Chains A and B, each alone.
Chain A
Amino acid sequence: DAMVIQNPRYQVTQFGKPVTLSCSQTLNHNVMYWYQQKSSQAPKLLFHYYDKDFNNEADTPDNFQSRRPNTSFCFLDIRSPGLGDAAMYLCATSRGLEYTDTQYFGPGTRLTVL
């Protein structure tokens, strides 16, 4: 089955220690997104890629970076995690940016910062 995969499902890191979360997709979608979701809140978009074009949300902290080396993979790098970065991180894909294009999500990575 075509799907969005995130690894790891749970990640524990220390304050200030860089961490990388990964996402892969078998849907062959053009767009990949990273969201941050804190408890009982709606997901918050950090950035998205349309093919290789990177689009950063205006309020995404510089501490968050992303890479998309090919169509299938996308990475979220948190350079110096703070306690406030503990959250669920969701990767999503869509075929395009049309209003008819559904976003499909992976299972998420729950990040704990000690």
Chain B
Amino acid sequence: AQKITQTQPGMFVQEKEAVTLDCTYDTSDQSYGLFWYKQPSSGEMIFLIYQGSYDEQNATEGRYSLNFQKARKSANLVISASQLGDSAMYFCAMRDANYGQNFVFGPGTRLSVLP
């Protein structure tokens, strides 16, 4: 069965510092995609970054990068140079080839950026 684990319910980071949000996943499929979303207090789920299971390079999008360690089944999100506007809930999600209709979310990590 597919499963996403995010072990950090809450994280604090000082403005301008980098922060890593953990995500581990479980799937028996070889073909899968990993996604990170940001949800500010307004409620909108904002897509941040995608990593495919066959991608050899770690994905990057601006200040966001994904530290993909396939053997460990981890897909940690790294946010560089944190900004106050980064304070939000962050969800890791997965979809695999066998159950493509299922988009499995982790429980989320609440990030607070301190001035």
Q: How far is the CA of A50 from the CA of B37 in the complex (A)?
A: 23
B32 lies within 8 A of A99 (CB): yes
**Residues of A close to B110: CB separation below 8 A:** 40
Count chain B residues whose beta carbon lies closer than 8 angstroms to a beta carbon of A.
30
- B45: Cβ under 8 A from any A Cβ: yes
Count chain A residues whose beta carbon lies closer than 8 angstroms to a beta carbon of B.
27
A99 lies within 8 A of B101 (CB): no
- A97: Cβ under 8 A from any B Cβ: yes
A42 lies within 8 A of B108 (CB): yes
Q: Could you tell me the distance in whole angstroms from the C-beta of B86 to the nearest C-beta in chain A?
A: 18
A residues 69-114 with Cβ under 8 Å of B? 88, 90, 92, 96-108, 110
Known pairs A41-B107, A42-B105, A103-B103; A98 contacts B97 (CB<8 A): yes
Which residues does A use to contact B, with CB under 8 Å?
A: 33, 37, 40-43, 45, 48, 50, 55, 88, 90, 92, 96-108, 110
9 smallest CB-CB distances across A and B, nearest first, come from A97-B100, A105-B45, A42-B105, A108-B43, A107-B44, A99-B33, A99-B97, A99-B95, A88-B43
